[in-house]
Structure 1
């Protein structure tokens, strides 16, 4: 059993570091762009007078960085080669995300809005698996060309994590001889709608509340009459691009249907595993950053004539966090490696519990690490002149989004007790 990272992966990390130093860091320092990352970051990023949306200059800077990364062959790394990517594996993506987040805040990787010079594209897998050839060309190639931006309209105001109790309805309706659907309902946390060209809108088309079958997905153009952004929800970490959206007699043709009718819930779940393992790696990297910065500070800070690092009250909490980081790193890398060895459709039934373990624990760990870093740094740690409050506020959301930690623990429990997964046969006689 070999736990060493592949040599070509280590070489690619060095290549990415060189690109960041040559292209991204100078851009970060140019024209006071550092304001988006220093103590002014929340104000610099947020247009508080325009619903709390991201400032245009901030989004232009992120776009500039990804254009440069795309030209260098990095941005599409995780995408299939036929779309200009490198077929980046789950293991390589996990290692890269861990590596990037461990560097701290910067233009190379800012997960507040899922930005990275090595992009994560869950919609590619979704359109590949469920889209028609025309939809694949329009939304995958159009997405990379920045002509198509798709928001995700699944969550609803009254039902949160339980997508099976979906009040948004779509009923068949033909207009001018064209078969289509009439959609009515409301969505929450429909991230990115301020720039989206389409909203992947999930609606019940048959069946009863609570049934997994009977939910369909429609690619609704955001300019469609009856689609309205009601408000942008201000969050713990600003800016916000998370609105509440209403659909009032929104009509779309049959061609907007993504995937099979009534099979939309499987579509919604098709890419959660890739997202969760990569997000877990990012939280791990950020936790590692918090620990390392605390260690450095404790070695140099000398109250009462002695380094803070000599105090066991400082040492022991950081020892526990460092231990958890090391154990979690092994599990994340191993789980990502296992994902690469399984067919995509087998991951849910064979490995979903391990992915959930990685994700919920990493998200909890980074919050603990950021909190401890504030405590070790004292007053300056609590200020915005250090990045820990930003890390805490940002990563705290992942204990709720991407499947709340309670939902993920329930998944682990179902596998552990044999209600789902490989252990189901073990308890078949009960």
Structure 2
């Protein structure tokens, strides 16, 4: 068995590093843009006069950097070549995401809002896989170029992780559908021109079938943002929205009538392995920084690093990183070889453990650095605040563990949902 990374992938990491040094870091240093990464001034990202939304300057900067990366050919790495991408692999995305996160926060990669110069453009991937020919003509170029996008209206206030008990409904009325209901944690809705609304069109509560995805313009009459939800990690772009007799044409259906959940499930595994790799990279960053500090800091006349109370917790964290890295690489490689749903159990293992590990590593880094680690002069409290949410939002860790148990005890089959191509990348 060969556990080495493909030579072309290692070479690409070097190319990305050179691109960051030559193109991204100068932008980061320009016009005091570093204020967005100076943790003492992190509130520069937040527009308090607009209720805690991301500041327009912050989001404009992220958009600019993505366009620079797109021109250079990096942003669309995982997208098929016919759409300007590189046919990037799941293994490649996992390795790149870990590599970026291990470098620390910066304009090259900031997971507070899923920003990266190598994009994980879920909306584009979904459009390529599920859009009608008309939708593809209308959407793909603008999605790839960042000129158009849609948010995801899935979670409901009273049901959380249970997407099958959906109270939002859509009723057919001639050539139109009338949608009523509420959604929460609708991320990115403050700028999205459309919202992908999941609504029950047939079946009963608890059924996986009978839920339909609709691409709903956010300026449609009856579409209202009720409030934005402030979180542990500001700024906020997570909204509670309400739909009251919202009318959309039949052509707004995305992915087929009654097949909405299958659309979302298609890329769950790809998203989760990439997010797990990012959490692993952030955990490794915290460990690396702690080791360096412990070697330099000399209270009572000797380095902190000679103390077993410092060594042993970091040894345990490093051991977990090494084991997790091997599992992530194997799982991502298996997804490339056998399909995204061939290793659902392992994806859940990687996801919940990586998110927990990152929080543990950030907490330990704060402890090693003492008061400085707890302060905003260091990034650890920011990393903890951000990655703590992934233990809930990327499929709560309890849901992931329940999923693993389902495979272990024979309650679930490790296969694609009905209607989803099991070999799809």
Question: Same fold per TM (> 0.5)?
Answer: yes
Residue in 2 aligned with 1:149?
A: 149
The alignment status of 1:359 with 2:376, answered yes or no, reads no
Aligned to 1:317: 313
Distance 1:237 1:163 in 2: 25
SS in 2 for 1:400: helix
Structure 2 distance, partners of 1:387, 1:147, is 32
CA distance in 2, matches of 1:142, 1:25: 27
| Alpha-carbon distance in 1 for matches of 2:248, 2:413 | 38
Partner of 1:223: 219
Alpha-carbon displacement from aligned partner over 1:344-380 (angstroms, at most 9, x marks no partner): xxx33x3101000000000000000000000000000
2:178 to 172, 182, 204: 182
Report deviation, 1:318.
0.2
Residue 65 of structure 2 is matched in structure 1 by 65
Whole-Å separation in 1 of the counterparts to 2:312 and 2:68: 43
**Structure 2, unaligned stretches of length 5 or more?**
416-425
Give 2:27's aligned residue: 27
| Structure 2: distance between partners of 1:40 and 1:144 | 34
Give the equivalent residue in structure 1 for 2:270.
274
SS of the aligned residue for 1:25 comes to helix
2: CA distance, partners of 1:149 / 1:40: 32
Q: Does 1:375 align with 2:367?
A: yes
Contact 2:344 2:414 in 1 (8 A): no
Deviation at 1:51, TM superposition (A): 1.3
Give distance in 2, aligned partners of 1:411 and 1:25. 41
SS of residue matched to 1:409: helix
Question: C-alpha displacement at 1:422, in angstroms?
Answer: 5.5
The aligned runs of 1:158-169 (5 Å cut-off) are 158-169=158-169
Q: Deviations over 1:282-310 (max 9, x none)?
A: 00000000000000000000000010000
Q: Distance in 2 between matches of 1:139 and 1:355?
A: 30
Kindly tell me the number of residue pairs found equivalent between the two proteins. Answer: 415
Cα distance between partner residues in 2 of 1:210 and 1:23: 50
Partner residue in 2 for 1:207: 203
Q: CA RMSD in A?
A: 1.1
**Local SS of the residue matching 2:198:** strand
Distance apart, 1:418 and its partner CA: 1.3
Say if 2:155 and 2:183, in contact at 8 Å, map to a contact too. yes
Structure 1 distance, partners of 2:106, 2:414, is: 41
Inter-partner Cα distance in structure 2 for 1:232 and 1:41: 22
How many Å apart are 1:41 and its aligned residue? 4.2
Residue range with higher mean Cα deviation, 131-140 or 299-308: 131-140
1:398 matched to 2:416 = no
1:243 is displaced (CA, Å) by 0.3
2:128 maps to 1:128 = yes
SS at match of 1:40: helix
Q: Which residue of 2 aligns with 1:7?
A: 7
Measure, in 2, the Cα distance between the counterparts of 1:129 and 1:95.
24
Alignment of 1:24-103 (within 5 A): 24-103=24-103
Structure 1: tracts of 5 or more residues without a match: 424-430
Compute the displacement of 1:146 (Å). Answer: 2.7
What is the TM-score normalised by the length of structure 1? 0.95
Which has the higher mean CA deviation after the structures are superposed, 208-217 or 377-386? 208-217
Q: Secondary structure at the match of 1:217?
A: strand
- With 62-71 and 307-316 compared, the bigger mean Cα shift is at 62-71
120-129 or 218-227, larger mean C-alpha shift: 120-129
Q: CA shift at 1:14, angstroms?
A: 0.4
Q: Contact 1:138/1:148 (CA < 8 Å) preserved in 2?
A: no
SS in structure 2 at match of 1:321: helix
Within 1, Cα distance between the matches of 2:20 and 2:410? 46
Q: Aligned pair 1:193/2:189, yes or no?
A: yes
Equivalent residues in 2 for 1:389-428, closer than 5 Å? 389-421=381-413
Query: Taking structure 1 as reference, are residues 272 and 226 closer, same or farther at Cα in structure 2, changes over 3 Å only?
Result: same
1:235 equivalent among 223, 231, 234: 231
What secondary structure is seen at the aligned counterpart in 1 of 2:203? coil
Contact 1:42 1:239 in 2 (8 A): no
Distance 1:302 1:188 in 2: 49
